[in-house]
Amino acid sequence: MHPKDSDIPNLMDDLRQLVVFALREDIGEGDITAQLIPPGRLARARVITREDCTLAGRAWVEEVFRQIDPTLKLKWQYQDSERVAADSVIFELEGNARSILTGERTALNFLQTLSGTATTAAHFARLAAGTTVKILDTRKTIPGLRSAQKYAVLCGGCHNHRIGLYDAFLIKENHIAAAGGIDRAVAQAHQIKPGALVEVEVENLEELQQALESGADVIMLDEFSEEDTRVAIAMARGKAKIEISGSVDSERLEQLAGLDVDYISSGSLTKHLRAVDLSLRIDIDSSPTGG
């Protein structure tokens, strides 16, 4: 897929601004090591993954090299969302050697991080395959990478929860206490932003009943036992959608995926990622000017 095809607000603007910041923090006033290379020297490079992964982040890589040197030529062997086997060449790069080496680390940082997110999401999606449950991400993302990681989650075959604090209500324990109860909190939410999704987190079956009576769209069960989860599902059927949350790692997901719930959300998709091991290998033109 491509970032433009997603429904994530302002994703392309975020992408460009994020690359500007990332290059500024890495290059500063200039790449002094790259100055060791004659300015006109050309090179070819290839980026290889050392491990199996699900790819995400092509547009971020392209934007890095576009901002550094728009004459560089990239040739991709894989699309975002595709599974890539270890030792495969992901893309090739051709052009000015200084430009390639200056952009190498920033480009790979984006690609390894977002592919790490997508790879984790793909693992979770496989665990839920054959069920009707949708696996959702959370707001537990790397600061500044919210929209990028949300996109990577989609590449892995999972789904986005709310993007931020502005597009849906998620009423938790502290909100309920401050608002004066579940019914008041839900009623105020409908007044503040009519039509927005309203979700309520509950900790027991009594709160679940209150949330159902208040007209919540989605009810999040926080740390419910399996027995209480089954009771909650029966209580909510036809009235509200059910989401399971709280300490959902891949092991617990396997236990939960068979339950008849609508959603399972997990912060593990974005906060516990391990970056994919990538390597850039470069061949420098031996002529003094590159041609």
| HEC readout, 88-107 | CEEEEEEEEHHHHHHHHHHH
The pLDDT confidence band at residue 1, using thresholds 50, 70 and 90, is confident
7: left (phi over 0), alpha (psi -120 to 50) or beta: alpha
Query: Residue 106 has which token pair?
Result: 């920033």
CA distance readout (Å), 171 to 67, 143, 165, 218: 41, 22, 11, 10
Those residues with Cβ within 8 angstroms of residue 179's Cβ, 6 or more apart along the chain or in another chain: 171, 185, 188
Q: Which of 69, 222, 228, 285 is catalytic?
A: 222
DSSP-H helix ranges across the chain: 11-27, 58-68, 97-127, 146-155, 173-179, 182-192, 205-214, 226-236, 250-256, 268-271
Query: Residue 218 has which token pair?
Result: 């989605």
The pLDDT of 271-278, averaged and rounded, is: 94
Q: Which of 14, 104, 201, 207 is catalytic?
A: 201
pLDDT of 30 over the 80 cut? yes
- pLDDT at residue 13, as a whole number: 95
Cβ-contact 290, 40 below 8 angstroms: yes
Helices 11-27 & 146-155 angle (0-180, nearest 10): 120
Cβ-contact 54, 75 below 8 angstroms: no
Cβ-contact 62, 74 below 8 angstroms: yes
Q: Which of 140, 230, 239, 252 is catalytic?
A: 140
Query: Residue 261 has which token pair?
Result: 């719930």
**Least confident interval from 63-67, 119-123, 243-247:** 243-247
- pLDDT at residue 123, as a whole number: 94
Domain boundaries, the chain: 3-125+274-284, 129-271
The pLDDT tens digits of the residues spanning 78-88 come to 999 999 999 99
Give the bridge partners for 175, in sequence order: none
The domain at 3-125+274-284 falls in which architecture? Answer: Alpha-Beta Complex (3.90)
The pLDDT of 270-290, averaged and rounded, is: 85
Q: Which of 41, 105, 241, 252 is catalytic?
A: 105
- What's the first-to-final CA gap in the chain, in angstroms? 37
β 278-284/42-49 pair status: antiparallel
Q: Which of 139, 172, 230, 239 is catalytic?
A: 172
3-state secondary structure of 264: strand
The pLDDT confidence band at residue 289, using thresholds 50, 70 and 90, is low
Distance CA 104, CA 81 (A): 22
Higher per-residue confidence, 205 vs 5: 205
Domain 3-125+274-284 and domain 129-271 have a common topology:
no
User: Is 222 a catalytic site residue?
Assistant: yes
User: Is 105 a catalytic site residue?
Assistant: yes
User: Is 172 a catalytic site residue?
Assistant: yes
The pLDDT tens digits of the residues spanning 186-235 come to 999 999 999 999 999 999 999 999 999 999 999 999 888 888 999 999 99
Exposure string over 57-71, b if 16+ CB within 10 A, otherwise e: bbbbbbbbbbebeee
User: Is 201 a catalytic site residue?
Assistant: yes
pLDDT of 56 over the 80 cut? yes
Cβ-contact 108, 64 below 8 angstroms: no
Distance CA 222, CA 202 (A): 6
The DSSP call for residue 166 is S
The domain at 129-271 falls in which architecture? Answer: Alpha-Beta Barrel (3.20)
Cβ-contact 95, 73 below 8 angstroms: yes
